[in-house]
Amino acid sequence: MAQPYIVRVSSQKGGVGKTTISVNLAIILKQLGYSVLLVDADYINPVVAMHLGLEEVSSGFRAVMKGRARLQNVTTIHPSTGLHILCGEISQKQFEPSYESIVRFTRMLEKTKYDFIVIDTPPGFSKEVFVDISEALIVMTPDMQATTSAIRSSQVFDKYHIRHSLVVNRVRSRAFELSPREIESAYGSRVDAMFPEDDVVPMSIAAHIPAFLYRKRSPFSKAMLDFSRLYSARTEQKESGLPAGGGFVAWLLGLFRRR
Ligand SMILES: Nc1ncnc2c1ncn2[C@@H]1O[C@H](COP(=O)(O)OP(=O)(O)OP(=O)(O)O)[C@@H](O)[C@H]1O
Ligand SMILES: [Mg+2]
């Protein structure tokens, strides 16, 4: 790929599964053979390192944003997969990156050789929404509050012409949940993936191993793998290596093609 495909994982509502999905998407894309950088841009509560057992890493996103370190010098390599990670720093000192530093950072990311860059973000919206990314992945849970937040998110992304897709996490298929059809009708667009509620997720977080590596055959891991395979379809260079590309894959490629 000429430029990396930059995916910002976001939600207005907190605790819906952004970090879990970012980490597992990045790990699976890496295992599918792509070069991947995972960025912990959650400057409020950075926990990507904890999900990956890299708690000892002390420098990363904040240092790069402040111009104190170069990306390649503070990128950590996940030992068992080779995934590259720009970790966040846990600090008592408050930090919010400036709009200018976010623009600079995105331009820097665009010049890297990665196939995919997955960015985990804090809940809500801040200035980074305006920055040119390839796509925003909106995460929600199947309830009314999360749907309302997802609709607001999509409106903001629409306003700034940022391509976005929607995934629903922690699905238990219970009567009190919103069904995919109800979500699609309220949201006005299709749901791109559903990830089930799965005890393997908290178990894997407690073990500091991403769910996909912790238990590959768990319902959550399988759903993540299916979704990540569709993501990989967006890497034009590797199209030939994809499973048979019928109308659906063509539709997906069109849907996610860089603006
Ligand atoms: N599919 C799932 N099944 C079961 N538990 C899940 C699932 N997805 C996430 N969780 C749990 O939900 C909690 C929140 O997940 P996560 O930290 O990924 O959300 P987040 O959106 O990144 O939160 P924040 O907005 O605080 O950054 C975690 O404790 C995790 O174990
Ligand atoms: Mg998070």
Residue 254 has pLDDT above 60, yes or no: no
Q: Which of 201, 203, 209 to mutate to test the pocket of ligand 1 (most atoms within 8 A of CB)?
A: 201
- What sign does the CA torsion over 60, 134, 78, 238 have? negative
Residue 247 has pLDDT above 60, yes or no: no
Provide the pLDDT confidence category of residue 91 given band limits of 50, 70 and 90: confident
Scored b (16 or more CB within 10 A) or e, 107-145 reads eebeebebbbbbbbbbbebeebbbbebbbbbbbbbbbee
Residue 250 has pLDDT above 60, yes or no: no
Q: What is the mean pLDDT of the chain?
A: 89
- Residue with the larger pLDDT of the pair 254 and 130: 130
Q: Which of 135, 86, 136, 79 is nearest to 112 (CA)?
A: 86
Atom of ligand 1 nearest to the CA of 23: 18
Q: Which of 75, 94, 64 is nearest to 26 (CA)?
A: 75
- pLDDT score for 59: 86
Provide the pLDDT confidence category of residue 54 given band limits of 50, 70 and 90: very high
Q: Are 155 and 148 in contact (CB under 8 A)?
A: no
- pLDDT score for 234: 64
**CA 18 – ligand 2 centroid, Å:** 5
Q: Are 232 and 238 in contact (CB under 8 A)?
A: yes
User: What whole-number percentage of the chain has pLDDT above 70?
Assistant: 88
Atom of ligand 1 nearest to the CA of 120: 22
Q: Which domain holds residue 179?
A: 5-256
CB-defined site of ligand 1, < 6 Å: 11, 14-20, 42, 45, 123, 169-170, 195, 197-198, 201-202, 205, 220
User: What whole-number percentage of the chain has pLDDT above 90?
Assistant: 75
- pLDDT score for 58: 83
pLDDT in tens, 146-158: 999 999 999 999 9
**CA 169 – ligand 2 centroid, Å:** 13
Provide the β-strand partners of residue 139: 167
Q: What is the DSSP letter of 179?
A: P
- pLDDT score for 259: 33
Domain count, the chain: 1
Please give the model's pTM, rounded to 2 decimal places. 0.91
- pLDDT score for 246: 32
Q: Which ligand is nearest to the CA of 220?
A: 1
Q: Which of 90, 29, 106, 92 is nearest to 58 (CA)?
A: 90
Residue 236 has pLDDT above 50, yes or no: yes
CATH number, domain with residue 190: 3.40.50.300
Protein residues near ligand 2, an ion, with CB under 5 A: 18-19
Atom of ligand 1 nearest to the CA of 14: 25
Q: Which of 16, 19, 20 to mutate to test the pocket of ligand 1 (most atoms within 8 A of CB)?
A: 20
Per-range mean pLDDT, top range of 73-87, 94-108, 125-139: 73-87
What mean pLDDT do residues 198-212 have?
Answer: 98
Residue 171 has pLDDT above 60, yes or no: yes
What mean pLDDT do residues 40-54 have?
Answer: 96
Provide the pLDDT confidence category of residue 240 given band limits of 50, 70 and 90: very low
